[in-house]
Structure 1
Amino acid sequence: MLSPDFTLSAFSNFVDALRLAADDGDFSRQIRCKWKVLSYNSQPIRSSCGVEISPTSELIDPSAFDYIVVVGGLLHSGKKIAPALIGYLKKAAEQNIPLVGVCTGSFILARAELMNGYKTCVSWFHHQQFESEFPKLHVYADSLYINDGNRITCAGSAGVMHLAANIIEKHCGKHEASRALRIMLEEYPLSEKSPQPQPFVQTKITNINVHKAILLIERNISTPLSMEEIASRVNLSHRHLERLFQKEIGLSPAEFSIKIRINHARNLLINTSNQVSFIAMECGFLDTSHFSRRFRTEFGKTPTEIRKEALLQQQKK
């Protein structure tokens, strides 16, 4: 079930894992797994990136399915899921059909009052908003997905294929699940308890302007914005933004920007084979020597030393 402005990657990662497990070879026949795209009408459903998906089934009896997956998308587009679909989800819940919310599909289930009493997994990016909108629900942003009986929720993106693999393993076998992931270039399946990559700031941000500025910094790691431009975009003076940052996280915007870029560089060093010079540029450092000095100041070790340690740890595993 696709919401208006749904996230295409969440949908495609889930369905592609099913497709690869459903058949041998590359024929994509729905043998071991079958799926339908549900809708109350025959109109194409537009994703957040503009690509449209045509539904393949009307709202047939929910008992025909082992799971009903709700794919969420943009929270602020102003478009809401149709009442007919909400009614259908409630009917499925009455019949004890497991409901799966991926990406912001968890918001849709929660707004339909279908997450009451269940644990909910959301992306760290949406955790604060979910907590504010549903203060009585138990929400978590420290794992890829949560399987809580008849409710399964997933943070989205790459985590969706691992959730799909978990479901595939349960019904079709471990071999089919692992094979699907390998074809999707995932080395091994990640469990429910696998952590989400977390943002640099772990504390709750109360000031909306600081929150907006942090998002601007995070979205422009490769080509950092000047502090003046960031302040301008959030309609504050540079000095006022600095005071707010110091109050909220104890760092200036410039210090925060460097730290988040250095931490991103460390993740790339550990998880990719890219050259140090490439990683430096990818994280907004035009001078490799300056990057290495700043890296050593932050972690007490050079980028090369951090990479060697990570490789040794992986070999031990």
Structure 2
Amino acid sequence: MSNSNQYSEGKRIAFVLFDRFSMIAFSSVIEPLRLANRLLGSEYYVWSTYSIDGNPVCASNGVSVGADYSISDLGDADVTLLCSGIDVERLPLSAELGKRLRKLNAMGRTYGAVCTGAYLLARYNLLDGRRCTIHWENLRSLAEEFPDIEVSQDIFTIDRNCITSAGGMAALDMMLRLIAIQHGAALAHDIAEVSLYQNIRTGESVQRHDAEARTGIANIKILDAVRIMDLHIEDPLSCQQLALTVNLSPRQLERLFRRHFNCTPGQYYLRLRLETARDLLRRTGRPVLDVAIACGFASTSHFTKCYRERYGCTPTEERRTYQWGAVPEPVQDMAQPAVI
């Protein structure tokens, strides 16, 4: 924990760490604060770490990080950030943490999350009426499970007193933005330069590499077809419709897919839909029928048949391996002043 005789004049940051949190995201939010203090020549930012019970927390990379306090000690920090990582959906909810977060919100304090932490905020009913983001692997499942929340694909969002980051290096961009708000862009750029970070990104930057970088394919027609498939998971298009949208004949489109993916467009499309379904089964508690419909299947029986052929188990069997924590009762959203 960082100490300072200027404690009351600076900003107090609370980091709440959860089991298997993302170390890269945590480092990316805490290191800019350390560097800001170094360049300012004062301990303007003071931070503490918290865990549910005050015990050390193991990150997803196996490194254990000590907690300064338990959440029962969580006070009125200027900024409180939840740091989580993989399997966030399986984390049990803490009524005590939910109560303290709602109190911070009511006090006008800034709160938020990095990496997958937005999912926890959603379960605590702290994202209602707000725009947020989350790591791209969790985007679709968060939007499906919480349809009233505006889920963005941006690398970070700032909506009044709620801040969220998609994790990884995006957390660094978010913190540099907050530091710039406090001390000006020059300090943020100095921190980036010391960190050997070349280009500070805006929140609106995209999370994922484009389809060409992900697939290693440069053919524009096939890349357009893949993008269109991804946009039409719930309402899948026919091969003829796909071919029409990319100005090819169905036969030409099939030849391209066989050459690049060794399968037909229909087989590739089905694989995308089943991958989405598997993600929703693992990350949400939605009924199997709802998952089937969200992935473009007209019936549970057809969905189950395709799923078993692809993964060797039924959707219900897939779901059985996951335990779901209780979701807290809805609460009234509170006031929302500007962030730090």
Matched, 1:93 2:93: no
Matched, 1:187 2:203: no
What amino acid is the match of 1:244? Answer: Q
Q: Is contact 2:50-2:74 (8 Å) kept? A: no
Q: Tell me by how many angstroms 1:156 deviates.
A: 1.0
> What per-residue deviation string (whole Å, max 9, x for no partner) do you get for residues 71-113 of structure 1?
1211267333533222221221121211121111110101100
Q: Which residue of 2 aligns with 1:245?
A: 268
1:246–1:178 Cα change, 3 Å:
closer
Q: Which residue of 2 aligns with 1:17?
A: 32
Q: TM-score, normalised by structure 2?
A: 0.57
Q: Please report the RMSD computed on the Cα atoms of aligned residues, expressed in angstroms.
A: 2.9
Identify unmatched segments of 5+ residues in structure 2: 1-15, 212-225, 235-261, 274-340
Q: Which residue of 1 aligns with 2:122?
A: 110
Q: Is contact 1:178-1:188 (8 Å) kept? A: no
Q: Give matches, 1:152-167, under 5 Å.
A: 152-167=163-178
What amino acid is the match of 2:125? Answer: E
Q: Return the alpha-carbon distance in structure 2 between the equivalents of residues 30 and 38 of structure 1.
A: 24
Q: Which residue of 1 aligns with 2:301?
A: none
What amino acid is the match of 2:36? Answer: A
1:245–1:205 Cα change, 3 Å:
farther
SS at match of 1:35: strand
Q: Tell me by how many angstroms 1:52 deviates.
A: 1.2
Say how many residue pairs are matched.
215
Q: Tell me by how many angstroms 1:30 deviates.
A: 6.7
Q: Return the alpha-carbon distance in structure 1 between the equivalents of residues 44 and 185 of structure 2.
A: 13
Q: Which residue of 2 aligns with 1:5?
A: 20
1:61–1:197 Cα change, 3 Å:
closer
Matched, 1:151 2:152: no
Q: Which residue of 2 aligns with 1:62?
A: 75
Aligned-pair identity in percent equals: 22
Q: Return the alpha-carbon distance in structure 2 between the equivalents of residues 77 and 192 of structure 1.
A: 25
SS at match of 2:45: coil
Q: Return the alpha-carbon distance in structure 1 between the equivalents of residues 271 and 27 of structure 2.
A: 38
Q: Which residue of 1 aligns with 2:315?
A: none
Q: Return the alpha-carbon distance in structure 1 between the equivalents of residues 152 and 186 of structure 2.
A: 30
1:179–1:120 Cα change, 3 Å:
same
1:75–1:48 Cα change, 3 Å:
same
Which one of the candidate residues 137, 142, 147 is aligned to 1:125?
A: 137
Q: Is contact 1:62-1:91 (8 Å) kept? A: no
1:244–1:55 Cα change, 3 Å:
same
1:3–1:139 Cα change, 3 Å:
same
> What per-residue deviation string (whole Å, max 9, x for no partner) do you get for residues 206-239 of structure 1?
49xxxxxxxxxxxxxxxxxxxxxxxxxxxxxx97
Q: Which residue of 1 aligns with 2:61?
A: 49
Would you tell me which structure has more strand in proportion to its own residues? 2
SS at match of 1:34: strand
Q: Which residue of 2 aligns with 1:178?
A: 189
Q: Tell me by how many angstroms 1:248 deviates.
A: 6.8
SS at match of 1:147: strand
1:198–1:132 Cα change, 3 Å:
farther
Q: Is contact 2:88-2:117 (8 Å) kept? A: no
Q: Tell me by how many angstroms 1:242 deviates.
A: 7.0
Q: Tell me by how many angstroms 1:22 deviates.
A: 1.1
Q: Return the alpha-carbon distance in structure 2 between the equivalents of residues 113 and 5 of structure 1.
A: 23
1:50–1:205 Cα change, 3 Å:
farther
Q: Tell me by how many angstroms 1:125 deviates.
A: 2.2
Matched, 1:79 2:94: no
Q: Return the alpha-carbon distance in structure 2 between the equivalents of residues 182 and 162 of structure 1.
A: 13
1:104–1:40 Cα change, 3 Å:
closer
Q: Tell me by how many angstroms 1:43 deviates.
A: 0.5
Q: Return the alpha-carbon distance in structure 1 between the equivalents of residues 231 and 29 of structure 2.
A: 31
